[in-house]
Structure 1
Amino acid sequence: MHKHDGTCFRVLAKRILLPTFSLAAFLFPGTAQAAELNGAELTFPWALPFLGILLSIAIFPLLAHEIWEHHQGKIAAFWAALIVIPLFALFDAGTAIAALGHAILLEYIPFILLLLALFTVAGGIVLRGNLHGSPAVNTGLLAIGTALASFTGTTGAAMVMIRPLLRANDDRKRNAHVVIFFIFLVANIGGSLTPLGDPPLFLGFLRGVDFFWTTEHLLPETLFLSIVLLALFFVIDTVIYRKDGHSKPDPTPDDDQLRLSGTLNIILLGVIIGAILLSASTELGTVHLLGVDVEIENILRDLVMVAVTFVSLAVTPKGDRQANTFSWDPIKEVAKLFAAIFITIIPVLAMLKAGEDGLFAAIVALVTDEAGNPSNPAYFWLTGMLSAFLDNAPTYLVFFELAGGDPQELMNAQALTLTAISAGAVFMGALTYIGNAPNFMVYSMARRAKVEMPGFFGYMLWSGGILLPLFVVLTFIFYT
């Protein structure tokens, strides 16, 4: 392992993973099973910390970037403390510990370890070389990235593909539209087919949704959007390419053909997929910890994620990570923020479980028709629009719970409802720069590469004009 990479990971593990994974277990090794929070008894102030962390994520990077960069961990800890302290003050210790244990052991730890493994593996895969950014080449690169996103995650695919795409178009007069469609397809829509693709789908997997369920049920919508957007991009790019006076150039000696480095990481990607599939198909018993039963096969799966991370660091040449400008900062930011999200969402999920007896009875009414049946268009649009401006992972959890929270019921009798929730969370994250984590990362990289990217609202003019009509058509074809 390279010294620099190993040091960074040890810092990450020491500051983030170990405190959340082992300290509570040391302090409370045998907490007895406790009663669940009664969401019908919880009032609106319990939801404020969840709204606070989501609004902080949405607003601070845009309005107070420097403060956010230096104090995001403190801000996240503040909102989490507003849940942790009242839990222990107002409920018995067993109930509080069980609520936190469920969020940390069953959801946060598996979630962040998968992201860590995918982030590390993808950071060791380098697409080298250069191509001329003709409409055909650009469309091909977008198609490859879209297909890759469901297997390396939208963040991984975006980080692998954005650099060769930017290099291919560095001599174009106008190239912002190339990055915009890249965000649509690679950073969002392409990640809809497996739990590896986008964080909300992995949360669904952790809740009991089968690994290939999303592949089967979201494939038609994904193909529809991908084909239409790729075709539309080809037309737009061709028009701009010709208007700017470009023609197909002759190859020069400086042009390198694309080639892949870090291929051992592709094998490690297969290990990640295999570990997830095995954890879903085996039963090795449970361990009672922090008031919850943790399945042994899931513990082993999480250990595989840690092992894959270390192996990737050990086998990847330092030059490959440098070529990707690999940094631990994005995953450290995600780890801190999602620790707060998973804690602050505890009472919100409890209130949603209460249904019509809880605080969110009005939202329940919005997503059900007069006969009490779920309104799938409403689930699609409400999940999607909130995902566009907040974060799609916790938004998915909110509506998953609102639809009943029973994975077997949702995968079968309510399959269309779960499909609408999943599609809304993944697809509509493309509507803004803050809808999905890789969106803003791609935007920042493009700006550093001197691409004249539109601002926050300028991007929304593109996404609103192109994506919203497609989502309307999607609603009528699939959800009505």
Structure 2
Amino acid sequence: MKKSLRLAAAALLPLMFPALASAAEFNGATLSPLWGVPFAGILLSIALMPLLVPSFWHHHYGKVSAAWALAFLLPFAVIYGVPLAGAQMVHALVEEYIPFIILLTALFTVAGGIHIRGNLHGAPGLNTAILAIGAVLASFMGTTGASMLLIRPLIRANDNRVHRAHVVVFFIFIVSNAGGSLTPLGDPPLFLGFLKGVDFFWTAQHILPDTLFILAVLLGLFYLIDRHYYRKEGVLPVDPTPDTKRIGFDGAINFVLLGGVVALVLLSGFWKSPVTFDIYGSKMGLPGLVRDVGLIAITLLSLKITAAKVHADNQFEWGPMAEVAKLFAGIFLTIIPVIAMLKAGTQGPFGAIVAAVTRADGQPDPAMYFWATGILSSFLDNAPTYLVFFNTAGGDPVALMTTYATTLAAISAGAVFMGANTYIGNAPNLMVKAIAESRGVRMPSFFGYMLWSGAILIPLFVATTFLFFR
């Protein structure tokens, strides 16, 4: 079983160009922290430019993302050589970004083809129920799938509300992040752990109390805040709509396609195959190739069979997906040196961070693993961050699931829970924000959102630390 998991993991990730194999790995310990400037630059651009130059950002955010990517790639190629720069770019795009975007596009398209009709009116009880349902769905269809399925009907239900931003903020907290903590299907870091040898149901067994605690507090707090705003607004007239039927689904065939997406992702993890394909010098494993081709086929099929009226009722548009694709392309490229410096461990520029997770007696400190993984996952891609600390803790799945179970639970929880701290901590966050804004919801700015997460999530994570990771 362990061998099959290793083979599946190997097949899931395409290999580097053979001619550049010797250049594919480089020592992050030799890099200057200044190589992190382009990554910091794209983060600050996402945070500040929508506030300072909103019109420019709206029309040129893709160019800004590309400029920061080139600000890393071009100097890197000059100093370290084109082969190494090319190898790193291929690694980031082929192994990480392209499969990532294909999966997100499939989930975005399929979920966008499901219209929940009926008289949904955003009272506190209904809103809380939708968030709770989304939290459950997130661990079985992924945080992206659950977010894309429910964010539109939730916004539509609250169309007549004056205060709506808090509803979307808590949706990101609960559905786009914390709800995906119980299975490898829920969030990419847990899926990578599964490929490394962590049992499928291990996370549910060891993080269920943590998840229930966080979700219960967030749902209860949301209900109180939403009830306050609801009462403050008074009784508002409901906009008359022709959608007076009882609750139901249009485009329900897309639920079958959604099951297909989940099946393909699982298949790519379980299926072992020695077959590889050479694509312009890069080898791709058969399971990963089948998964990606299957996801593209499902995306096209969903677009073909979904009635135009369903897309119109959902106000389906490609703007949010395009924004995520362009911004994360820059993030995946500029994050290359940052991840390399973290992988260098105590010998790298960020050695203090890695050293901080180990106690004086040499044993791992679960509380510090929770916070180190979580804080970095708030700003970096949480999947590679999970792998960095998974390996820092020894990288042996058997030992981590038994002797160091609390440490693995802390790494898993930090990567999933704290992705809610910023808009870029998890891909669905930015997608939900873009969809909400396209529907007229005035969402908080990058730092405004962090005020919400800082006031609500950070104290909750402190409590989680004392309850579960001491």
TM-score greater than 0.5 by the shorter chain = yes
Note if 1:427 corresponds to 2:420.
Answer: no
Bigger shift: residues 205-214 or 328-337: 205-214
Output the aligned Cα RMSD.
Answer: 3.7
Structure 1 residue matching 2:276: 3-state secondary structure: strand
Alignment counterpart, residue 38 of structure 2, candidates 41, 44, 49: 49
Tell me the residue number matched to 1:33.
21
Structure 1: any 5+ residue segments left out of the alignment?
1-23
How many angstroms does 1:314 deviate by?
Answer: 1.5
Between the aligned partners of 1:424 and 1:80, the Cα distance in structure 2 is 27
Closer/same/farther in 2, CA of residues 126 and 42 from structure 1, 3 Å limit = same
Counterparts of 1:332-411 in structure 2, within 5 Å, are 332-388=322-378, 392=382, 395-396=385-386, 399-400=389-390, 402-403=392-393
Between the aligned partners of 2:286 and 2:439, the Cα distance in structure 1 is 46
Q: TM-score scaled to structure 2, two decimals?
A: 0.81
Alignment counterpart, residue 464 of structure 2, candidates 450, 474, 479: 474
Structure 2: any 5+ residue segments left out of the alignment?
1-13
Contact residue 131 and residue 257 of structure 1 kept, 8 A: no
Tell me the residue number matched to 1:273.
262
How many angstroms does 1:130 deviate by?
Answer: 1.8
Closer/same/farther in 2, CA of residues 304 and 444 from structure 1, 3 Å limit = closer
Alignment counterpart, residue 120 of structure 2, candidates 131, 140, 147: 131
Bigger shift: residues 237-246 or 216-225: 237-246
Tell me the residue number matched to 2:317.
327
Contact residue 17 and residue 281 of structure 2 kept, 8 A: no
Between the aligned partners of 1:426 and 1:413, the Cα distance in structure 2 is 22
Bigger shift: residues 292-301 or 355-364: 292-301
Alignment counterpart, residue 182 of structure 2, candidates 189, 193, 198: 193
Closer/same/farther in 2, CA of residues 244 and 63 from structure 1, 3 Å limit = closer
Matching residue's letter, 2:326 = K
Counterparts of 1:117-156 in structure 2, within 5 Å, are 117-156=106-145
Note if 1:168 corresponds to 2:157.
Answer: yes
Alignment counterpart, residue 78 of structure 1, candidates 67, 72, 88: 67
Between the aligned partners of 1:329 and 1:163, the Cα distance in structure 2 is 14
Tell me the residue number matched to 2:4.
none
Q: Deviations over 1:187-234 (max 9, x none)?
A: 322222344434544565676766555444433322221123223333
Closer/same/farther in 2, CA of residues 448 and 103 from structure 1, 3 Å limit = closer
Closer/same/farther in 2, CA of residues 132 and 32 from structure 1, 3 Å limit = closer
Structure 2 residue matching 1:347: 3-state secondary structure: helix
Tell me the residue number matched to 1:12.
none
Tell me the residue number matched to 1:416.
406
Q: Percent identity?
A: 57
Structure 2 residue matching 1:294: 3-state secondary structure: strand
Contact residue 429 and residue 436 of structure 1 kept, 8 A: yes
Contact residue 141 and residue 262 of structure 2 kept, 8 A: no
Contact residue 128 and residue 222 of structure 2 kept, 8 A: yes
Closer/same/farther in 2, CA of residues 115 and 278 from structure 1, 3 Å limit = same
Alignment counterpart, residue 61 of structure 1, candidates 19, 44, 50: 50
Counterparts of 1:210-249 in structure 2, within 5 Å, are 212-238=201-227, 240-242=229-231, 245=234
Structure 2 residue matching 1:34: 3-state secondary structure: helix
Between the aligned partners of 1:238 and 1:174, the Cα distance in structure 2 is 11
